[in-house]
Amino acid sequence: MWKELLRIAPDLIPLIIQTVMDVERVLTGIKRGEVRKSRVMSIIGNILDTKDYFLGRTPDGQMQLLNLSFVLAVKNRATDAAQVADICTKQLTGVAGLGAERIRRALDLPGGADGVWATLELHPLVNPSGYVDAEFSSGAMRVRRSAAHDDGTWIDLCGPGRTAALQAITTAVDPGLTAVVTGSDADWTMTLAPAEHPHTESGEVAVTKFSGGSDFVFQPRRSLPLTVV
């Protein structure tokens, strides 16, 4: 586990080690009577009130936190902000398209506009709902600035003139539709329009599908051939 963490997000290791040391210090203080339990409960309460705790309690939130660690690692290696945006947008586009394809297949969602909106509403790009401000109405999705934008997560890479990920999701459901985005960076709306020509799968999505886990599916559990003696 540590080798993998060191490879993908070495910047987080000092923070993890410091957190473990802090916890051990508090536990030692309790045993010695140097720290009151009421104070510890107060600290725990403050932790539970943070968005990071609630993010970590949902699959979508866990994916957002993993992505933030990726962004942090990219920022520490990129030459400038433009390169950070380019790399993170490509990562998002690949994950968004593949995720949409898997969501649609798993839930047997229809094609067409209805299928796009149903898939998008469940997509990690706009979830958890308390973190990303995305409102769905008839034939549209409205996104307003939220905590997710402040943190620089996936949704912050979408908007007017930045539709690659939204189009990847749309294409995964129906290649005959185009994602149209209007508004400002702080308040924009996505609608769908017929494409002049069917969209093809983007290169980012194709590259993402090379991953060994991209076609993972749950299999029926089988009993082990054990004989009790």
> What confidence tier does 222 reach under pLDDT thresholds 50, 70, 90?
confident
Calculated CA dihedral for residues 110, 116, 121, 122, nearest 10 degrees: 60
Quote the pTM value: 0.71
Whether cis (ω within 30° of 0) applies to the bond prior to 194 is no
Q: Give percent above pLDDT 90 in the chain.
A: 49
Residue 7 has pLDDT above 50, yes or no: yes
Q: pLDDT at position 144, please?
A: 96
Question: What are the start-end ranges of the H helices in the chain?
Answer: 2-8, 13-31, 37-48, 51-55, 59-75, 81-107, 112-122, 147-151, 164-173, 203-208
Residues 6+ apart with CB under 8 A from 53: 47
Once rounded to an integer, what is the mean pLDDT over residues 185-203?
A: 95
* Predicted pLDDT of residue 109: 92
C-alpha 119/C-alpha 114 separation (Å) is: 9
- Give the pair of three-digit tokens for residue 199: 């969209």
What is the band of 190 on the pLDDT scale with cuts at 50, 70, 90? Answer: very high
Q: What is the pLDDT of residue 193?
A: 97
Instruction: Give per-residue pLDDT as tens, 64-110.
Output: 888 888 888 899 899 999 999 999 999 999 999 999 999 998 889 99
- The residue written with tokens 């798993």 in the block is 106
List the one residue out of 83, 150, 158, 74 whose CA is nearest residue 124.
158
Band the pLDDT of 129: cuts 50, 70, 90.
confident
> Which pLDDT belongs to residue 54?
46
Helix (H, G, I), strand (E, B) or coil at 188: strand
- 38 Cβ contact list (under 8 Å, min separation 6): none
Range with lowest mean pLDDT among 2-11, 154-163, 197-206: 2-11
Higher model confidence: residue 59 or residue 148? 148
Tens digit of each residue's pLDDT (9 = 90 or more) over 13-71: 555 555 555 555 656 665 666 555 555 555 445 444 445 544 555 666 677 888 888 88
Task: Report residue 190 CA to chain centroid gap.
Answer: 19
- pLDDT attached to residue 191: 98
The more confident residue out of 1 and 108 is 108
Range from 54-63, 96-105, 132-141, 163-172 carrying the lowest mean pLDDT: 54-63
Q: Widest CA span of the chain, in angstroms?
A: 73
Pairwise pLDDT comparison (34 vs 128), residue with the higher score: 128
In the chain, what percentage of residues exceed pLDDT 70? 67
Q: What is the DSSP secondary structure assignment for residue 159, as one 8-state letter?
A: B
CA dihedral 23, 24, 25, 31 (to 10 degrees): 110
